[in-house]
Structure 1
Amino acid sequence: MSKVNCSGEFMSVLSDKKALKKAAEELTVVKLQEVIRQLNDVLESRQREAEALAEVEELVRQKGFTLQQLGISVQHELAPASTDVVTEKRPVKPKLKSINKEKQYFYVDGGKLQLLKTHTMKQGLRDRGISILSFADVSKKHQKEVQALLADAEQQAIKNFNAKVQVWNQWAQQHGGEILEPK
């Protein structure tokens, strides 16, 4: 077997299973054991590096920083030694959306007025033969139901907003962001 003197060539041989098998068949048992020993040493060294990196990341996190904040860029070749390391993304800053009844759409299903919650529902309802109504098109028979539907929708919007505020505030406390007040 020809000697591999470039790590790129070696990696391509390792990643190509057929070439690896052919190369291994050409080695004597002694040489094969030496290659395995060398690979095990490299693997052990890389695992120690990954463990040390996990310890550094944990220490940095305990001090309230991220590696990026300290200007440290790390290339991970291996999965981290501990699986509890989670990269935390910045959540979207929540905004409470007010409900304007003139911009809402409704539909009647089973004789009962319903609020159209997402515009993606429109086509499915139309396919079922159900008409979509704007606020102005709602019949007088169903006008009294509109306020109750809008009140429920507003309560749900506030509940969703408060849940997002809670997530945002947890992130903001750790990263020095603006703390928001729930509604």
Structure 2
Amino acid sequence: MSLLLDKRELKKAAKELTLAKLNDVLHTLQSVLAERQGELEAINEIERFAREKGFTLEQLGYKQVQDIIPTEDSAVVNDAKRPVKPKFKTLNKSSQYFYVEDGKLQLLRTHTMKKGLQARGIEVVPANKVDKKLAKDIDALLAEATEQAVCNYNSKVAVWNAWAAVNGGEVLEPR
């Protein structure tokens, strides 16, 4: 009986100990949060003061972070990093795979999707084994995929050509 009581007491002590540690962590996080909030207020005050005095943030040493897709301008600025030379891959009807989802024929975009679809119980078939009533959609799906591939290729060619113009590389023709 005493062993059972000791076990209960140990569990109770473990819960209290965990609660005490969690409270310590919570207090630490709150102090760090308060400190960061103070830093943020100081940074905002410095930025406001700099703007009032006519300085730009770049002049003061701040680096602006932009979440944009690389464009021709950024490729020219970042000439030290060589972009990947684009290669256009044609879509051959005979080598494409399709699947039916929600009663509509879909083109398998990547072969890594294949295992996920099969795990969900969706059958992936080559173009020659597509059901005849859905086969009429194959050409439209391939045309849409080709259009998207051309658009992606052309955007990569623009970045490549901008880099090539600065660094003396081969200039590619868009499609």
Task: Name the TM tier (shorter chain).
Answer: 0.5 to 0.7
Question: Residues 99 and 106 of structure 2 are in contact (CA less than 8 Å); yes or no, is this contact kept in structure 1?
Answer: yes
Q: State how many pairs are aligned.
A: 103
Q: Does 1:133 align with 2:125?
A: yes
**1:118 and 2:99 matched:** no
The answer for unaligned runs of 5 or more in structure 2 is 1-60, 65-76
Considering fraction of residues, name the structure with more helix.
2
For residue 154 of structure 1, what is the amino acid of its counterpart? T
Cα deviation, residue 82, structure 1: 8.0
Structure 1 Cα separation of the partners of residues 168 and 111 of structure 2: 37
- TM-score, normalised to structure 1, is 0.53
Which residue in the other structure is 2:53 paired with? Answer: none
Q: Once the two structures are superposed, what CA deviation does each residue of 1:29-85 show, in whole Å capped at 9, x if it has no partner?
A: xxxxxxxxxxxxxxxxxxxxxxxxxxxxxxxxxxxxxxxxxxxxxxxxxxxx78589
Cα deviation, residue 88, structure 1: 2.8
Please tell me whether residue 181 in structure 1 is matched to residue 153 in structure 2.
no
**Which position in structure 2 is the counterpart of 1:93?**
85
Residue in 2 that maps onto 1:105: 97
Q: Letter of the aligned partner of 1:168 in structure 2?
A: W
What amino acid maps onto 1:96 in structure 2? F
- Secondary structure at the aligned position of 1:140 is classed as coil
Structure 1 residue ranges (4+ consecutive) displaced by more than 4 angstroms after TM superposition: 81-87
- Alignment deviations for residues 122-165 of structure 1 (CA, whole Å, 9 cap, x no partner): 11111111000101110111111000000001001100100000
Instruction: Look up the SS of the partner of 2:137 in the other structure.
Output: helix
Two-structure CA RMSD over aligned residues (Å): 1.9
Residue 12 of structure 1 corresponds to none
Q: What does the per-residue CA deviation read over 1:100-128, in whole Å, with 9 as the maximum and x for residues that have no partner?
A: 01000000000000000001111111111
Choose the corresponding residue for 2:157, options 161, 165, 173. 165
**For 1:7-26, what aligned pairs fall within 5 Å after superposition?**
none
Q: State TM-score, norm by structure 2.
A: 0.55
C-alpha distance in 2, partners of 1:126/1:103? 18
Q: Which has the higher contact order (CA 8 A, sep 6+)?
A: 2
Q: Percent identity?
A: 56
The one-letter code of the counterpart of 1:174 is V
- How far, CA to CA, are the matches of 1:172 and 1:146 in structure 2? 38
* Cα 1:177–1:122 shift into 2, 3 Å: same
Asked if 1:150 corresponds to 2:157, the answer is no
2:29 corresponds to: none
Could you tell me which runs of 5 or more consecutive residues in structure 1 were left unpaired when the two chains were aligned.
1-80
Deviation of the 1:89 alpha carbon: 1.2
